[in-house]
């Protein structure tokens, strides 16, 4: 069976072949696979979810696609818009290079990031520091103002802790920050979503937060003084 970078598809295909062994001819199996592919294509047009993973995988299973690799691929082929939301960012040269190229292609890039000051020191370094000047100038950067945050019993404000990527017609929701540790060493779990319904909900949600002032645009002149 040829290799594939889609762990879910490979697992399903291997299961079909195992169940069909000694029970049907290769011609019948071929027809079954063709029908399955047609159904899968229809599902992908409507709504499709793929498991993503970073970290060790059981030796008995075909590894799921890596979270960082999916982000690189989506960014490299983005044509219209990229929205990234993260708590922390650090040592992301490859991802930054992809974003810079996307900006050069005319792709709209928005970053919703956590900042040390706005979190009252709960983040040790502004996430924006991980991105080079070309991205700071070319992207729209949003932050969550301190006065918009609820506080706990100890007076600590809430954190911008979501990790989301919405890129054209696909979205990644995961536990992974945009950091070298999250991409290469941590246990991280996520999902890749394809389909109009969840994309519409995510875009509507973040567009609404930006429009009503819950998230505010970070002006570049301020960045120059950081």
The residue with tokens 């992809």 is 98
pLDDT in tens, 61-117: 767 899 999 999 999 999 999 999 999 999 999 999 999 999 999 999 999 999 988
User: Between 83 and 219, where is the model more confident?
Assistant: 83
- Joined together, the tokens standing for residue 164 give 């989301």
The residue with tokens 């017609």 is 169
Q: How far apart are the first and last CA of the chain?
A: 54
Residues 6 or more apart whose Cβ sits within 8 Å of residue 136: 128, 220, 223
- Joined together, the tokens standing for residue 184 give 């290469």
Domain ranges of the chain: 7-47, 65-224
Q: How would residue 47 be classed by pLDDT, with cut points 50, 70 and 90? A: low
Tell me the whole-structure pTM to 2 decimals.
Answer: 0.76
- Joined together, the tokens standing for residue 42 give 């229809």
For 27-34, the CB contacts below 8 A with 24+ separation are: none
Phi then psi for 3, rounded to 5 degrees?
-70, 155
How far apart (Å, rounded) are the C-alpha atoms in residues 209 and 204? 9
| Architecture (CATH level 2) of domain 65-224 | 2-Layer Sandwich (3.30)
What average pLDDT does range 145-157 have in this prediction? 94
Other beta carbons within 10 angstroms of residue 146's beta carbon come to 14
Q: How would residue 45 be classed by pLDDT, with cut points 50, 70 and 90? A: low
The residue with tokens 């970290």 is 55
- Joined together, the tokens standing for residue 9 give 């598809």
């Amino acid at each position: 069976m040829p290799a594939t970078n889609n762990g879910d598809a490979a697992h399903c295909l291997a299961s079909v072949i195992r169940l069909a062994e000694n029970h049907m001819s290769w011609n019948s199996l071929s027809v079954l696979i063709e029908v399955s592919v047609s159904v899968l294509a229809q599902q992908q047009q409507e709504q499709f979810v793929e498991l993503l993973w970073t970290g060790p995988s059981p030796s008995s299973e075909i590894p799921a696609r890596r979270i960082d690799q999916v982000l690189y691929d989506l960014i490299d082929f983005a044509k219209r818009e990229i929205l990234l939301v993260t708590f922390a960012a650090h040592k992301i040269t490859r991802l930054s290079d992809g974003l810079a190229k996307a900006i050069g292609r005319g792709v709209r890039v928005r970053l919703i990031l956590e900042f040390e000051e706005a979190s009252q020191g709960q983040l040790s370094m502004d996430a924006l520091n991980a991105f080079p000047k070309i991205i700071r100038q070319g992207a729209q950067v949003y932050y969550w103002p301190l006065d918009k945050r609820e506080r706990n019993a100890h007076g600590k404000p809430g954190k911008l802790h979501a990790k989301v990527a919405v890129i054209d017609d696909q979205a990644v929701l995961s536990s992974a920050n945009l950091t070298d540790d999250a991409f290469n060493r941590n246990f991280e779990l996520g999902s890749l979503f394809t389909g109009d319904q969840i994309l519409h909900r995510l875009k509507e949600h973040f567009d609404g937060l930006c429009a009503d002032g819950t998230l505010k645009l970070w002006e570049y002149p301020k960045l120059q003084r950081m």
